[in-house]
C-alpha cells in the first residue's frame, strides 16, 4: 500500500511538474508575443512620427519660400510705386517750370494767357 501510494504521489508530482512547465511555456510564449507587439507598435509609431516631422519640415520650407516670394513681390511693388512717384514728381516739376517760363514770357511781352485756369 505504501509503495502504491508512493507511486501515485510520484505520478502526481510528475503531472504537477509537467503542468507547471506547460504553464511557464505558455506564459513565456505570450510574453514573447506581447513584447513583439509592443516593439511593432513602437516601430510603427516612430515611423509615423518621422513621416510627420518630414512633412512639417517640408511645410516650413514651403512657408519660408512663399514668405520670401511675397517679400520680393512687396519690394517690387514698392520699387514700382517709387518709380511712379518719381515720374509724377518729374512731370510736376516740368509743368511748374513750363508755367513759370510762360508766365515770364507773358510778363516780358505784356500778353495775357489765352486760357486762364483750367477750372474756369
Q: What does the pLDDT read at residue 118?
A: 52
Q: For residue range 80-93, list pLDDT tens digits in order.
A: 999 999 999 999 99
pLDDT at residue number 117: 57
pLDDT digits (tens, 9 = 90+) for 60-71: 999 999 999 999
DSSP 34-88: HHHHHHHHHHHHHHHHHHHHHHHHHHHHHHHHHHHHHHHHHHHHHHHHHHHHHHH
Q: Residue 55: pLDDT above 90? A: yes
**pLDDT score of 3:** 86
Amino acid at each position: 500500500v505504501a509503495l502504491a501510494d508512493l507511486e501515485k504521489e510520484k505520478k502526481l508530482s510528475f503531472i504537477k511538474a509537467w503542468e507547471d512547465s506547460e504553464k511557464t511555456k505558455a506564459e513565456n510564449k505570450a510574453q514573447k508575443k506581447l513584447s513583439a507587439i509592443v516593439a511593432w507598435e513602437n516601430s510603427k509609431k516612430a515611423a509615423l512620427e518621422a513621416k510627420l516631422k518630414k512633412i512639417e519640415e517640408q511645410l516650413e520650407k514651403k512657408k519660408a519660400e512663399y514668405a520670401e516670394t511675397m517679400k520680393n513681390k512687396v519690394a517690387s511693388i514698392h520699387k514700382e510705386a517709387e518709380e511712379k512717384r518719381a515720374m509724377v514728381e518729374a512731370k510736376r516739376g516740368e509743368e511748374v517750370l513750363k508755367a513759370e517760363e510762360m508766365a515770364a514770357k507773358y510778363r516780358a511781352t505784356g500778353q495775357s494767357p489765352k486760357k486762364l485756369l483750367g477750372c474756369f
